[in-house]
Amino acid sequence: MRVIGLTGGIATGKSTFAALLRARGAPVVDADALARAAVEPGTPALAEIARTFGAEVLREDGALDRKALAARVFADPEARRRLEAITHPAVRRAMREATDRLAAQGHPLAFYDTPLLYEVGLEALLDAVVVVWAPRDVQRERLIRRDRLDAADVDARLAAQLPVDEKAARADFVIDNAGAPEALAGKADRLLADLRAGRGRRLPNAPPVRY
Ligand SMILES: CC(C)(COP(=O)(O)OP(=O)(O)OC[C@H]1O[C@@H](n2cnc3c(N)ncnc32)[C@H](O)[C@@H]1O)[C@@H](O)C(=O)NCCC(=O)NCCS
Ligand SMILES: Nc1ncnc2c1ncn2[C@@H]1O[C@H](COP(=O)(O)OP(=O)(O)OP(=O)(O)O)[C@@H](O)[C@H]1O
């Protein structure tokens, strides 16, 4: 099975594009969803988070207060690294299990949807990488609209990731999502057709294929 990394910048449209791939029969393993499952009540990771950050990052019902934890970790890179040291090993394990299951089911192709693909250095483990791209001002607008964040929170989140332009420059395939969402379906069709025809890693120094 070939495993294709799918990434982007925050709010560039990665999840929207992943849904289109799923609708076309391609399995997508979602790191954000696995990261959420890893910190559900009763998990060792949530207990560790409470020990590290204190009860103020828990809600009254014992679940993680994501807003409170986000305020802490996106304001302080050191706190973010402490959180990642707890969550990333759990997410990596869950991702590996999910990919092994898909391989055992005989899928020829699977996507690995993870926002921090380049930040944590997963490139070498993947057969190719797709970056869903949008310009920074569009990213900012979508983030404010979707998550109701103010400008300072948006900038803190953007600063926690590599710029999406840098990711696009390193990618094998770039999905341009600056335009209308309706344009994405055709791009998903073309990407899948190219991947199923065996297209993969670009040659060294060649530019990415853009859709
Ligand atoms: C800080 C938390 C509680 C904020 O939760 P919230 O519901 O507001 O955001 P959500 O989890 O839906 O993430 C939204 C986006 O934020 C960005 N983001 C999340 N964590 C990080 C991080 N550690 N570094 C940079 N960007 C991040 C990603 O682009 C992600 O797609 C949560 O993101 C978290 O637990 N993060 C640590 C785990 C992690 O690194 N996840 C990302 C990939 S595995
Ligand atoms: N082409 C588009 N035009 C307008 N809005 C869009 C477009 N594509 C996606 N969106 C909207 O922008 C927001 C961000 O998209 P999405 O959630 O898919 O991004 P993401 O890259 O998965 O984000 P994250 O890294 O935060 O998980 C969503 O509210 C989505 O509905």
Domain ranges of the chain: 1-27+108-210, 31-106
Question: In the structure, what pLDDT confidence band is assigned to residue 205 with cuts at 50, 70 and 90?
Answer: confident
pLDDT band at residue 71, thresholds of 50, 70 and 90?
very high
By 3-state DSSP, what share of the chain in percent is helix, strand and coil, each rounded to 5?
55, 15, 30
The answer to the question of whether 200 is labelled as a binding residue is no
**What pLDDT is stored for residue 142 in this prediction?**
94
pTM of the model: 0.93
Using the structure block, give the residue that is written with the tokens 């449209």: 13
Q: Is 161 close to ligand 2, i.e. is its CB under 6 Å away?
A: no
| One-letter identity of residue 96 | R
Second-level CATH architecture of 31-106:
3-Layer(aba) Sandwich (3.40)
Can you give the pLDDT at residue 26?
97
Cα 73 to averaged position of ligand 1 atoms, centre (Å): 9
Please name the residue whose Cα sits nearest to atom 16 of ligand 1.
10
**Which residue shows structure tokens 């929207």?**
16
Atom of ligand 1 nearest to the CA of 74: 1
Kindly state if the Cβ of 180 falls inside 6 Å of ligand 2: yes
How many CB atoms lie under 10 A from the CB of residue 40?
A: 11
Flag whether 13 is marked binding. Answer: yes
Task: Identify the CATH homologous superfamily for domain 1-27+108-210.
Answer: P-loop containing nucleotide triphosphate hydrolases (3.40.50.300)
Any atom of ligand 2 within 6 Å of the Cβ of 154? no
Q: CA–CA separation, 80 vs 78, rounded Å?
A: 5
From the CA of 67, give the closest atom in ligand 1: 8
**Taking 90 as the threshold, does the pLDDT of residue 204 lie above it?**
no
| Residue 157, both tokens | 């989140």
Residue type, 42: G
Write down the pLDDT at residue 162.
96
Residue 149 CB–ligand 1 contact under 6 Å: no
Tens of pLDDT, residues 146-180? 988 889 999 999 999 999 999 999 999 999 999 99
Report whether 43 belongs to an annotated binding site.
no
Q: Span 7-22, mean pLDDT? A: 96
67 is in an annotated binding site: no
Share of the chain above pLDDT 90, in %: 92
Asked if 107 and 1 touch (Cβ cutoff 8 Å), the reply is yes
Is 93's C-beta closer than 6 angstroms to any atom of ligand 1?
no
Q: Does any ligand 2 atom lie closer than 6 A to the CB of residue 10? A: yes
- Residue 137 CB partners (closer than 8 Å, separation 6+): none
Q: Tell me if 1-27+108-210 shares its fold with 31-106.
A: yes
Kind and range of the H or E run holding 2:
strand 2-8
Give the ligand 2 atom nearest the CA of 146. 29
Residue 91: which of 107, 68, 114 has the closest Cα? 114
Q: Is 15 annotated as a binding residue?
A: yes
Is this prediction's ipTM beyond 0.85? Answer: yes
